[in-house]
Amino acid sequence: MTSETDWLLARTFAGTSGAVRWDRLGPPDGTPVVLLHGTPFSSYVWRGVARALARDHQVFVWDMPGYGRSEKAAGQDVSLAAQGRVLTELLAHWNLPEPLVAAHDIGGAVALCAHLLHGARYRALALVDPVALAPWGSPFFRLVREHAEVFGQLPPALHGALVRAYISSAGGPGLRPDVLERLVEPWLDVSGQAAFYRQIAQADQRHTDEIQGRYGDIGIPVLVCWGEEDSWIPVAKGRELAALVPGARFEPFAGAGHLVQEDAPAELVGALLSFFAQVA
């Protein structure tokens, strides 16, 4: 994978929530790093960071079921609980007993659920603007969740405009037009439109409520990264989360919004490499 247009994820895993598209970058003998994306995104948001890390690490990227290039199907379970199980399955499939993990947005909740509920083991965990503390979900997110069936019937043009506006609202300096279109594209066909509202309808805070009281039990090194201009989850939540996890380090990024990978990729790579080197 060497350009903006070929982030296709060449491999497939049959998970319990549908077919998962994934790929691996970097030297096969490198220290393994697993990257988790959030919503309404895909592994594409990690492309630059993944390629930078892959100079010295073996980097695993994947689209969660219901997202990006992975399977989208009616009746599909794409809840946080289901994604946590799929991550645990993938770690076993990849034969990664204790990888380094970096997780963004709901990917953070997925990584935490897999670790605290399913026994997934990590050498260290970097959380980037994660969904982790109640209450979460923007007013728009809550509105769509309560009326997902109605929004699912929007004409395609209106649906596309809504998704573009939503993804554009994450704060920071804003996305390049080509990047915005790449993030929007998986949600535009018939299956993608249904999947967009399905994943919001199944985004239930009870899954993080179940584990929030256990953050003090986390015994691995944790780095909490946050864009200071995040308009979806305020930076104060990052400081709060870091204070709950024993020994966690907090790393803010000036000028970055919710998509730190797009707004401050060099700074994020630097923070991750420093963190991973300390725990290697």
- Per-residue pLDDT tens for 42-57? 999 999 999 999 999 9
| pLDDT given for residue 5 in this prediction | 54
* Other C-beta atoms lying within 10 Å of the C-beta of residue 117: 16
* Calpha distance 64→199 (Å, rounded): 11
Q: Are 44 and 110 in contact (CB under 8 A)?
A: no
More confident residue, 169 or 21: 21
| b/e 251-276 (16+ beta carbons within 10 angstroms → b) | bebeebbbbbbbbbbebbbebbeebb
Q: Kindly indicate the confidence band of residue 171, based on its pLDDT and cuts at 50, 70 and 90.
A: confident
Type of residue numbered 127? L
Here the tokens at position 161 are 């405009």
Q: What's the whole-model pTM score?
A: 0.96
Q: Kindly indicate the confidence band of residue 121, based on its pLDDT and cuts at 50, 70 and 90.
A: very high
The residue among 72, 68, 50 whose CA lies nearest residue 59 is 50
Coil/strand/helix, residue 162? helix
Q: Is the peptide bond before 186 cis (omega within 30 degrees of 0)?
A: no
| pLDDT given for residue 2 in this prediction | 41
Mean model confidence pLDDT for the chain: 95
Q: What percent of the chain has pLDDT over 90?
A: 90
Q: 14: which strand partners?
A: 19
Type of residue numbered 198? R
Type of residue numbered 237? K
